[in-house]
Structure 1
Amino acid sequence: MATHRHWLLLLFLPWALLSRRGAQPPDALYPVVLLPGNTCSQLEARLTDAYEPPPESPQCGAGSNERGRWFRLWRNATAMDDPAVAPCLADQLRVVYDPAARDFRNEPGVETRVLGFGSTADFLADTEANKDLCMGRLVEALQQAGYRDGETLFGAPYDFRQAPAARGQPCRAFARFTRRLRALVERASRENGGRPVVIVSHSQGGYFALEFLNRSPLPWRRRYVKHYVMASTGAGGFLLPLRNLASVPRDALEAPDALVALPSPAVFGPGTPPLVVTRARNYTARDIPEFLAAIGVPPLGVTLYETRALPLQLGFRAPVVPTTCINGVGQPTMEQLVYWDGNFSETPQVVYGDGDGFLPVASIVALDTVIGGDPRQEYYKSIKLAGTSHAGVVSDAAALKRVVDEILWSPPI
């Protein structure tokens, strides 16, 4: 029988006052692997002779010294701030669907790689804001507790542009990430006396971690995973991708991560308010294919949603390892978009409800049913942090205290 503890916590004391454990000796620590949120992984790119700059931006990759060498693609703040170079960054960063391969790929002539796999050093935490968003504060807190990067603390950055796809659909990027993460978990355990690993994810990293666990053999999970701590991840997606796709419909062919994050009909089902309201008709989560068509997403984009993203959403399930989900609540969160005149190119009126600022509360509490309600899930805990934002779960002092305590704690399995 699953153990369920659903706590609504009002945490307010600073980290320094609440931290009582102090630094632990290395032989008392279970190794930790962190998966950061969206855009927090660093990417490098290399242009080959096959790369053709956009016709409107012939300067992209025009210099011979820019061919054949690796350069920082994400995050490249200089390029983002330079109007002459920004179109080059956008073109070289995007992924496109290849019908022949039935998979997403880079633009022809653009090769990419993820920096620093195995380490947390290359997480995007070079500014105070990025440190809050990209687990920089959590890394610091774990180091205070005695963890050392590359010894007991490891990072698993990934290509955030390419989300996992439904089973049976090719997804080379996720398959490669799965192989690397499995090897990293095994190495972390081996180098720490055979102790199993604590996997900790934030935001989009949770979807990668959950799919990784569910696609790993159950005996392997039981041998190598001590505890999974999933922060700021819901079971049903959120509304921001709907609004973004309405603004730029072609992104459906270039942003598989947006399709996967759309609200799931398994969570936003009958009895829940419509997600999009117009004078002519309303759209629920069941109507997302029709909504995508209405905003101008090409038919192929609708098909990609129905074949690659939707089955993945409907298959959201328990990882069958000891699991703690930690989410913020009590923040104004988008729960309905109103395009009263049916003009989806205009900025919609937004109706707000409860959540963490990104994830609606319906997506958050669904974890308790989907994961906690699975009889195979032997241990599950759900923690809601009152007044805590999506990023605040891994950056606010009191929330960090709670997350670190869960990492250091041993589930009774």
Structure 2
Amino acid sequence: MGERGFLFLFATFYTFFIVSAKPDLNPVVLIPGDGGSQFKAKLNKTTTVASYCIKKTNYYYDLWLNLEQLVPFLIDCFVDNMRLEYDNVTRKTHNSPGVDIKIPGFGGTDTVEFLDHSEISLTTYFHNIVKAMVSWGYDRNTTLRGAPYDFRKAPNELHEFLDNLKSLIEETYYKNNNKKVVLLGHSMGNPVTLYLLNHMTKAWKSKFIKSFISLAGVWGGAAKPIRLMISGDNLNVPIVKSIAVRREQRSMPSTAWLMPSDQFWGPDEVLVVAPTRNYTVKDYKQLFKDIDYETGYMMWEDTHKLINPLTAPGVEMHCLHGVNVTTPGVFVYTNKTWQQSYPKTIPDNGDGTVNMRSLLGCLRFAKGQSQPVYHKTFDKAEHMQILNRKDVIQELEKILLPSEPFINKHSGFKDSLN
């Protein structure tokens, strides 16, 4: 072979290697928020809330998110199957009698990319982020993992999940040649992740964790769960009455956990204006008594100190969230709406779900750790839509990809978001 032939062959191999090789990526684990995991249920019930509700199944069917279950009448069956029951002796919850629930897909990305296994666009969750990351060189289930969990519960009842999440992080680290793992959470997934990190040793975090990226983090609670406790939330489904789903929503300890924190709201700041009195963060006991749901106060007692006061995670942080979206701030009830329907809402700034003061909570970490805390806001980025925003995904690309140039690393990115 002559010199020219050798150079041609070398150039061919070099080009193939550069174009085909993948960047040296830190693997990522996705931690979803409230409502961000699929549920499957199997029924063996002795009674139902209505004659048209199914008592028994010999298979697991889609419970959440199942849009067919949210239609009138059937929603009563859904609420009864999805709700939890609270044991005021053990201070723990359990499924509705005769309902067995599984959270599918732990370790993979399928069940956090879409909330319905049929993968219709209405139930898109992490999909656009995952699709973009695959175009950057990530591989589903290898360098990109998912950690769905029972979002109805707070960390005091998620010990098995947290043990599994710890193991998943370690497995992902070793599976990827000892590359440190990036944790990417959305909404309630962020305080859940913080709880885990607060209970891990400095040595463990130093070995296994590269950074923690928070999207729309709920660091100090939000006003919205108070409305949910009082009169329910129709999940922005016009045909659903808020009162129809309140029983299930109230039964979730995570709802109590996400109520406004007294570290973020002052004792004299009114959150609820009711026909007979006003309520602030110091009035929760009386509020739950007045709405005849004192179980809610017990769940609040169980959960409100889990990350309160905030303790820094002890790892590099990237906090990304929306601003300038009209967000519930104060609820004004009349005799007609009290405990029955949506109140008048006095707006606040935030991302549509989480109030600004809570979103900014991650800035408090800067004073409590040596690792850097980065912060970036996105105008009009709504709480759920932040997962689909091109500018947010571009920011994730900057954070996750190696700083050195890499040929073909942008391949398919634009198409993945159109």
TM-score normalised by the chain length of structure 1: 0.82
* C-alpha distance in 2 between matches for 1:194 and 1:250: 46
| 8 A contact 1:201–1:230 mirrored in 2 | yes
The Cα of 1:256 is off from its aligned counterpart by: 0.9
In 2, Cα distance between equivalents of 1:251 and 1:114: 18
Shift of 1:329: 0.4
For 2:326 and 2:193, locate their aligned partners in 1 and report how far apart those are by CA, in whole Å: 27
1:145 aligns with one of 120, 136, 146: 136
Residue equivalent to 1:15: none
- Is contact 1:96-1:253 (8 Å) kept? no
- Check 1:256–1:322 CA distance in 2 against 1; reply closer, same or farther (3 A cut): same
Q: Which deviates more, 155-164 or 37-46? A: 37-46
Letter in 2 for 1:215: H
Deviations 1:290-315 (A, max 9, x none): 22222222x33222212x12222524
Q: Which residue of 2 aligns with 1:357?
A: 352
Contact 1:230–1:326 (Cα < 8 Å) also in 2: yes
8 Å CA contact 1:24–1:145 kept in 2: the answer is no
Identify which of 139, 145, 155 aligns with 1:164.
155
1:10 paired residue number: none
Q: How far is the alpha carbon of 1:46 from its aligned partner?
A: 2.2
Aligned to 2:271: 275
1:140 alignment partner, SS class: helix
Aligned in 2, Cα 1:250/1:93: closer, same or farther, shift over 3 Å?
closer
User: Which stretch shifts more, 215-224 or 150-159?
Assistant: 215-224
Paired letter, 2:214: M
User: SS of 1:122's equivalent?
Assistant: helix
CA distance in 2, matches of 1:258, 1:146: 37
Which residue pairs with 1:401 in the alignment? 394
Counterpart position of 1:325: 319
**CA distance, structure 1, for counterparts of residue 273 and residue 352 of structure 2:** 21
Amino acid at match of 2:132: A
Alpha-carbon distance between aligned partners in 1 of 2:299 and 2:177, rounded to the nearest angstrom:
44
The answer to whether the aligner puts 1:261 opposite 2:258 as a matched pair is yes
- Select between 86-95 and 347-356 the one with higher mean Cα deviation: 86-95
Q: Partner letter of residue 231 of structure 2?
A: S
Change (3 A) 1:57 1:318: farther
**Distance 1:289-1:377 versus aligned 2 partners, 3 A rule:** farther
**Separation in structure 1 between the aligned mates of residue 372 and residue 109 of structure 2, nearest angstrom:** 28
Q: Deviations over 1:307-344 (max 9, x none)?
A: x1222252432111111111110111111111255934
Q: 1:99 aligns with which of 73, 78, 88?
A: 88
- Matched residue SS, 1:314: coil
Kept after mapping to 1: 8 A contact 2:128/2:388: yes
| Counterpart Cα distance in 1 of 2:34 and 2:332 | 27
1:53-77 CA distances to partner (integer Å, 9 max, x unpaired)? 3253364225xxx14x322222223
Q: Does 1:119 align with 2:119?
A: no
Pairing of 1:301-380 with structure 2 (within 5 A):
301-306=296-301, 308-339=302-333, 343-369=338-364, 371-374=365-368, 376-380=369-373
Alpha carbons of structure 1 residues 330 and 25: separation in structure 2 relative to 1, 3 Å: farther
Contact kept in structure 2, 1:95 and 1:107, CA below 8 Å: yes
Is 1:335–1:351's contact at 8 Å kept on the other side of the alignment?
A: yes
CA distance in 1, matches of 2:140, 2:358: 33
Contact 2:271 2:281 in 1 (8 A): yes
Q: Which residue of 2 aligns with 1:40?
A: 36
Q: Do structure 1's residue 80 and structure 2's residue 60 form an aligned pair?
A: no
CA distance 1:189–1:245, shift in 2 (3 Å) = same
Rounded to whole Å, the distance in 2 between the matches of 1:336 and 1:409 is: 44
Check if 1:294 corresponds to 2:284: no
Partner of 2:194: 210
Quick check: 1:180 aligned with 2:164?
A: yes
Identical-residue share of aligned pairs (%): 27
**Greater RCO, CA 8 A, separation 6+:** 1
For the residue of structure 2 that corresponds to 1:210, the secondary structure is helix
- Please say if 1:241 is aligned against 2:241: no
- Choose 390-399 or 343-352, whichever is displaced more: 343-352
Partner in structure 1 of residue 238 of structure 2: none
Q: Counterpart of 1:386 in structure 2: which amino acid?
A: D
Counterpart CA distance in 2 for 1:23 and 1:141 is 18
* Partner residue, 1:5: none
**What residue is the counterpart of 2:379 in the other structure?**
386
**Counterparts of 2:286 and 2:177, CA distance in 1:** 54
Rounded Cα–Cα distance in structure 2 between residues aligned with 1:381 and 1:406:
10
Is the counterpart of residue 129 in structure 1 residue 125 in structure 2? no
Structure 1 portions without partners, runs of 5+:
1-21, 166-170
Structure 2 length-normalised TM? 0.81
Say if 1:23 and 1:148 are closer, same or farther in 2 by CA, change over 3 A. Answer: farther
1:226 is the counterpart of 2:232: no
CA gap of 1:25–1:90, structure 2 versus 1, over 3 A, is: farther
Count, aligned residues:
368
Q: Report the AA paired with residue 109 of structure 1.
A: G
Gaps of 5+ in 2: 1-17, 233-245, 404-418
Contact kept? 2:86, 2:92, Cα under 8 Å: yes
Secondary structure class of the residue paired with 1:184: helix
2:311 is paired with a residue of what secondary structure? coil
Alignment-mate amino acid for residue 348 of structure 2: G
Assess, with a 3 A threshold, how the Cα gap between structure 1 residues 252 and 30 changes in structure 2: closer, same or farther: closer
Q: Say if 2:187 is the partner of 1:197.
A: no
